C-alpha cells in the first residue's frame, strides 16, 4: 500500500483505472472546452505544424507497436516476456537517439495463473453441466488441487451483499453482477468484491467481466485483498455466463466447481525504462510522459498499454528527429507493474525525491489509442475518480457534479491561467481535430507524483471500444487503428513540446486523498 489513503476501493481504483477513461461512461463524451487561439498558438504554430505533419506521415511508431505485440506479446509482471520488452524498449530509445536512456531497477510481484476452469451444474428437470468462460483474477489465490464446489449466490450489488446475513453467504460462491455502469464502478466489484464477500463467509467469488460488450470473452484484472479477511479465489466470467448463472439461480440451486492453480512466486527484478531529450536552458526541469510496459497474461497488451508506451515514445522521438530543442527536458517513461501493484510508479516517485518541484507536467496515456478528442488536464472542480455507488442506489459511474464540466469559479488565478494556456495549445491541434481541453487527466503510474502536486494530463478519446477488449485475449494489434494511433502521437508530441518550451508552468494541485 502506498501513501494514498488505504480506503480499499479508492486505492484499488488508483491502481486500476486507466487515464483517459476515468470520467468517461460508455458513449459519453467528456465536457470539453474548445480551443481558443492566443499568444502560445501564435508562438508555436510553425513548430506544431511541423510536428503534426511528421507525426501523421510517421509509420515507425505503429511498426514498433506491431513488433511489441507480435514478437514479444503479453508481458505480465514477473514474466520473461516483460524482461524482453524492457530490454527491447531501452534499445528502441537508444536507437532513436534519446539521451540518458536507462532502466531503473524495480522489484515486481510474480503472480502465476496456472491451469483453471469452472463448471456449472444444476440438478432435476433440464439439468445441465457445462464449462464457463472464465479467467481467474490477477493476484487471486488458487483453490487447491480438489477445487471448490459450492452453491452460487447471485448478489447484484455491494448494497445487496450488505443486506445479507453471514448465514446466507457462508459457504457460497458469490456471483456479483451489477450490470454495466462503466469501468470505474464495475471494476470495484473485481477489486474489492472478493474480500467483501469473504467477510461474510463466501468461499469463492465470480464477477461479471467489467465490460459493456458481451462476446463470451472473460476479462481479467487485479483484485485487491483486504489483509484482515480470508483470501478466497476469484474469477471473472463472461457477461453471457454471468447472466445465465443469474437466470439459473432464480430457478433453483446452482452449483459451480471452480479449479484454479493460481499462486504467487518470489518477487522478480524488472524496471522502468526511460530516455530523454535534454532541455537546452532548464535541463533539470522535466515534462514526463509515458504509459506502462507490463500487461496482463492474456492477449498482446496492444491497447493496454502497448499503444500508450509506443505513442508517447514516438511523440518524443519525433521532436528529436525534427531537431527541435525545448528549453526543458522531455522524458519518456515506460512504467512497470501498473496492472497488479503499481511498483513502477512508486519507484519513479522515489527516484524524483526532493526534486519533485522540477517535474513540470506529467502526461500518461493508458486509455487506448482510440480517436482522440483532446487533452484532459487538472481535474480541478471534478473528482478524478468515479464515486462508489451509494448503498441501494443504482451506480452512475461518477458524481453528478463531474458531468457538468468545469466550474471556473472554484479555480485559483493560476489554475484559470493554466486552462487558458491549454486552450491556446489545443488551438494548435485543430488540423488533426483533437482541439478540446477537458477537466480530468492523470493515471495510476503518474499518480504518486501528481498526488504531490505535479500537473496531470492525459489524452481523452471517444472511448467507444477500449473496454470491449481490455484485459482479454482479444487485446491484439488489430484493435489499434493506425490513423487514430498517429493522431494520439501527434497530439502528445505537440503538447509535450510546448509544455517543455513555454515560459509559464501549469498549475498542479496536491491530492486531498493523501494520508
Which residues are known to be catalytic?
338
Max intra-chain CA distance, the chain: 79
Q: Label the pairing between strands 173-176 and 204-208.
A: parallel
| 3-state SS, one letter per residue, for 61-72 | HHHHHHHHHHHH
* Rounded least distance, CB 79 to Zn ion, Å: 16
Between 201 and 290, name the residue whose CB sits nearer to Zn ion: 290
Residue 16 main-chain phi, psi, to 5 deg: -130, -20
Between 279 and 376, name the residue whose CB sits nearer to Zn ion: 376
Contact 15, 224 (CB under 8 A): yes
Tally the residues of the chain.
515
Say whether 25 sits in a helix, a strand or coil. Answer: coil
Say whether 271 sits in a helix, a strand or coil. Answer: strand
Q: Summarize as ranges the residues that interact with Zn ion (CB under 5 A).
A: 18, 304-305, 366
Between 224 and 328, name the residue whose CB sits nearer to Zn ion: 224
* Rounded least distance, CB 304 to Zn ion, Å: 4
Q: Which residue has the cell 494489434?
A: 477
The CA-based angle 151-154-156, given to 5 degrees, is: 160
- Calculate Rg over the CA atoms of the chain: 23
What residues contact 455, with CB distance under 8 A and at least 6 apart? 360, 361, 362, 377, 378, 418, 505, 506, 507, 508
* Rounded least distance, CB 187 to Zn ion, Å: 12
Quote the CA–CA distance of 6 and 8 in Å, as a whole number: 6
* Rounded least distance, CB 470 to Zn ion, Å: 8
- Count other C-beta atoms under 10 Å from residue 7's C-beta: 12
Contact 302, 346 (CB under 8 A): no
* Rounded least distance, CB 348 to Zn ion, Å: 16
Q: Give residue 159's Cα distance to chain centre.
A: 26
Quote the CA–CA distance of 385 and 185 in Å, as a whole number: 10
* Rounded least distance, CB 311 to Zn ion, Å: 13
Between 18 and 147, name the residue whose CB sits nearer to Zn ion: 18
Between 347 and 411, name the residue whose CB sits nearer to Zn ion: 347
Between 41 and 187, name the residue whose CB sits nearer to Zn ion: 187
Between 366 and 484, name the residue whose CB sits nearer to Zn ion: 366
Quote the CA–CA distance of 506 and 100 in Å, as a whole number: 25
Give the burial class of 344: count Cβ atoms within 10 A of its Cβ; 0-12 exposed, 13-18 middle, 19 or more buried. buried
* Rounded least distance, CB 138 to Zn ion, Å: 12
Quote the CA–CA distance of 311 and 308 in Å, as a whole number: 5
Amino acid at each position: 500500500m502506498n501513501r494514498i489513503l488505504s480506503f480499499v476501493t479508492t486505492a484499488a481504483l488508483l491502481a486500476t483505472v486507466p487515464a483517459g477513461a476515468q470520467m468517461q461512461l460508455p458513449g459519453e463524451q467528456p465536457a470539453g472546452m474548445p480551443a481558443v487561439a492566443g499568444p502560445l498558438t501564435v508562438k508555436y504554430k510553425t513548430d506544431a505544424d511541423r510536428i503534426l505533419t511528421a507525426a501523421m506521415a510517421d509509420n515507425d511508431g505503429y511498426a514498433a507497436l506491431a513488433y511489441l505485440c507480435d514478437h514479444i506479446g503479453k508481458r505480465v509482471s514477473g514474466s520473461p516476456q516483460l524482461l524482453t520488452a524492457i530490454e527491447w524498449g531501452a534499445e528502441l530509445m537508444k536507437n532513436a537517439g534519446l539521451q540518458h536512456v536507462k532502466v531503473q531497477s524495480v522489484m515486481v510481484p510474480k503472480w502465476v495463473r496456472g491451469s483453471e476452469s469452472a463448471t456449472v451444474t444444476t440438478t432435476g428437470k433440464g439439468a445441465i453441466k457445462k464449462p464457463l468462460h472464465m479467467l481467474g483474477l490477477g493476484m487471486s489465490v488458487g483453490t487447491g488441487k480438489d477445487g471448490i464446489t459450492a452453491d452460487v449466490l447471485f448478489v447484484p450489488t455491494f448494497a445487496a451483499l450488505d443486506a445479507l446475513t453471514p448465514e446466507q453467504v457462508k459457504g457460497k460462491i458469490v456471483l456479483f453482477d451489477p450490470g454495466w455502469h462503466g469501468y470505474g464502478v464495475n471494476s470495484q466489484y473485481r477489486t474489492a468484491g472478493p474480500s467483501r464477500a469473504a467477510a461474510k463467509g463466501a468461499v469463492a467469488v465470480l464477477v461479471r467481466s467489467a465490460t459493456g460488450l458481451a462476446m463470451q470473452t472473460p476479462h481479467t484484472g487485479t483484485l485487491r485483498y483486504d489483509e484482515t479477511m480470508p483470501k478466497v479465489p476469484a474469477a471473472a466470467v463472461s457477461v453471457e455466463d454471468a447472466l445465465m448463472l443469474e437466470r439459473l439461480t432464480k430457478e433453483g440451486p446452482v452449483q459451480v466447481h471452480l479449479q484454479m492453480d493460481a499462486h504467487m512466486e518470489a518477487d522478480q527484478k524488472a524496471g522502468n525504462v526511460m530516455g530523454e531529450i535534454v532541455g537546452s536552458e532548464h535541463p533539470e526541469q522535466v515534462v514526463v510522459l509515458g504509459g506502462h510496459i507490463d500487461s496482463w497474461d492474456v492477449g498482446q497488451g496492444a491497447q493496454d498499454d502497448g499503444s500508450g508506451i509506443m505513442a508517447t515514445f514516438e511523440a518524443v522521438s519525433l521532436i528529436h528527429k525534427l531537431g527541435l530543442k525545448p528549453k526543458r527536458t522531455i522524458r519518456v517513461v515506460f512504467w512497470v507493474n501498473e496492472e497488479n501493484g503499481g511498483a513502477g510508479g512508486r519507484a519513479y516517485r522515489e527516484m524524483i525525491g526532493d526534486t519533485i518541484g522540477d517535474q513540470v507536467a506529467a502526461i500518461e496515456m493508458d486509455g487506448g489509442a482510440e480517436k482522440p478528442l483532446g487533452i484532459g488536464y487538472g481535474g480541478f472542480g471534478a473528482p478524478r475518480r468515479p464515486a462508489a455507488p451509494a448503498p441501494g442506489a443504482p451506480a452512475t459511474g461518477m458524481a453528478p457534479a463531474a458531468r457538468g464540466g468545469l466550474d471556473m469559479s472554484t479555480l485559483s488565478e493560476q489554475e484559470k491561467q493554466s486552462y487558458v494556456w491549454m486552450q491556446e495549445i489545443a488551438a494548435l491541434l485543430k488540423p488533426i481535430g483533437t482541439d478540446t481541453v477537458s477537466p480530468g487527466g492523470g493515471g495510476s503510474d503518474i499518480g504518486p507524483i501528481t498526488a504531490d502536486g505535479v500537473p496531470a494530463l492525459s489524452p481523452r478519446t471517444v472511448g467507444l471500444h477500449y473496454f470491449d477488449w481490455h484485459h482479454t485475449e482479444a487485446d491484439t494489434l488489430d484493435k489499434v487503428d493506425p490513423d487514430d494511433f498517429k493522431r494520439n502521437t501527434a497530439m502528445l508530441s505537440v503538447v509535450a513540446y510546448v509544455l517543455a518550451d513555454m515560459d509559464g508552468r501549469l498549475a498542479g494541485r496536491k491530492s486531498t486523498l493523501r494520508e
